[in-house]
Every structure is written in structure tokens, then in C-alpha cells.
């Protein structure tokens, strides 16, 4: 059996539903979204421009001041953290790992790791015979030992 002929292990539920049902769902969700947005826009317009009073303007002023104060507080907190921590080297650099070490983590030999590193196109991960493989076009697949089912 060829790699391209094999069925994907991923179950696509949306493709199992009837096309007409999917179209109706999309149209209804789009219409419902448009109606909600129109309701929000009309309500805000009426509350802000048509039915304005002193109380509403006072509330909007307070809300604007709270937003500005929150933004200033976040900026001050960021500046404080920068002053306190910018000179400290608290993050450790990880040592460079060889391909053999990385391959051992994934259960792949050093030669196969070199093959994977040298390819310029995509290596597709496929599940076949209860095992995962890196599949490269025109080459033999590479088993990913770390993902092997126990």
C-alpha cells in the first residue's frame, strides 16, 4: 500500500454531515451574528447620542478616567520591573545538544537525524502499523521511536 493511498487516522466530523445541513448552519450563524451586531450598534447609538443625559456623560467620563489610570498603572509596573530585573541574568542558557542526543530523545538514530536535518522540504508525520513515521518524499520513512505505542 502506498503512503498517499492510506487513509488518514484523523476523523473529520464536519465532512460526515450532509452538505445542505452545513450550508444552513453557516447561513444561520452568519445571520445571527449580523443581527446581534446590528442590535449592539443601534443600542449604543441610542444610549450615547439619542437618550443622552448628564448622568450618562458623567459615567462615560469616569469610565474613561479608569481606563487611562489602568493603562498608566500597567506602564509604571512595567518600568518598575525593568528597573528591578533588567541587569539580572536569571535565565540559564541551555548547552548545545548534538544530533545524537536529540535523536536519543525521539528514539531516532544519529544518521536519520542528519537526514531529517538536511531535507529542505516537509517531513510528514504518518501513523502506520501502530507506529509513527517521518515520511519524506522519495525516501524511506523514519520511525519515531518516542511515539511508539507501548
Please write the tens of the pLDDT for every residue from 60-113. Answer: 888 899 999 999 999 999 999 988 888 877 777 778 888 888 888 778 888 888
33 occurs within a structural domain: yes
- In the chain, DSSP finds a helix count (H) and a strand count (E) of 4, 3
71 occurs within a structural domain: yes
Of 85, 109, 137, the position where a domain reaches its end is: 85
Half-sphere CA count of 14, side-chain side, radius 13 A = 4
Backbone angles phi, psi at 128, to 5 degrees: -140, 140
138 occurs within a structural domain: yes
Indicate whether 106 and 128 sit together in one domain: yes
| Largest Cα span, the chain | 77
Q: What pLDDT sits at residue 31?
A: 96
Q: What mean pLDDT is predicted for residues 112-127? A: 76
Q: Are 39 and 47 in contact (CB under 8 A)?
A: no
The structural domain count of the chain equals: 2
Spell out the alpha helix ranges (H) of 10-50. 19-45
Give the helix/strand (H/E) hosting 146. Answer: none
Mean pLDDT across the chain, nearest whole number? Answer: 79
Beta-strand runs (E) in the chain: 124-128, 131-135, 142-143
Q: What pLDDT sits at residue 150?
A: 46
Q: Identify the DSSP state of 143.
A: E
Full domain range(s) for residue 113: 99-147
Q: Are 96 and 111 in contact (CB under 8 A)?
A: no
77 occurs within a structural domain: yes
Q: Which of the four pLDDT bands, split at 50, 70 and 90, describes residue 149?
A: very low
* CA dist., res. 150 & res. 50, Å (int): 68
2 occurs within a structural domain: no
Q: Give residue-wise pLDDT tens across range 23-72.
A: 999 999 999 999 999 999 998 888 777 777 777 778 788 889 999 999 99
Burial class (CB in 10 A: 0-12, 13-18, 19+), 108: buried
Amino acid at each position: 500500500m502506498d503512503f498517499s493511498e492510506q487513509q488518514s487516522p484523523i476523523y473529520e466530523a464536519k465532512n460526515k454531515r450532509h452538505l445542505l445541513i452545513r450550508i444552513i448552519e453557516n447561513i444561520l450563524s452568519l445571520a445571527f451574528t449580523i443581527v446581534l451586531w446590528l442590535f449592539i450598534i443601534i443600542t449604543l447609538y441610542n444610549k450615547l447620542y439619542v437618550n443622552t443625559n448628564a448622568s450618562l456623560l458623567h459615567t462615560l467620563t469616569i469610565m474613561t478616567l479608569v481606563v487611562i489610570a489602568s493603562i498608566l498603572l500597567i506602564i509604571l509596573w512595567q518600568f518598575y520591573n525593568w528597573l528591578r530585573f533588567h541587569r539580572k541574568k536569571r535565565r540559564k542558557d541551555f548547552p548545545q545538544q548534538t544530533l545524537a542526543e536529540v535523536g536519543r530523545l525521539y528514539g531516532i538514530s544519529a544518521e536519520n537525524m542528519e537526514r531529517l536535518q538536511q531535507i529542505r522540504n516537509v517531513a510528514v508525520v504518518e501513523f502506520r502499523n501502530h507506529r509513527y513515521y517521518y515520511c519524506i518524499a522519495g525516501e524511506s520513512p523514519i520511525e519515531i521511536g518516542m511515539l511508539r505505542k507501548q
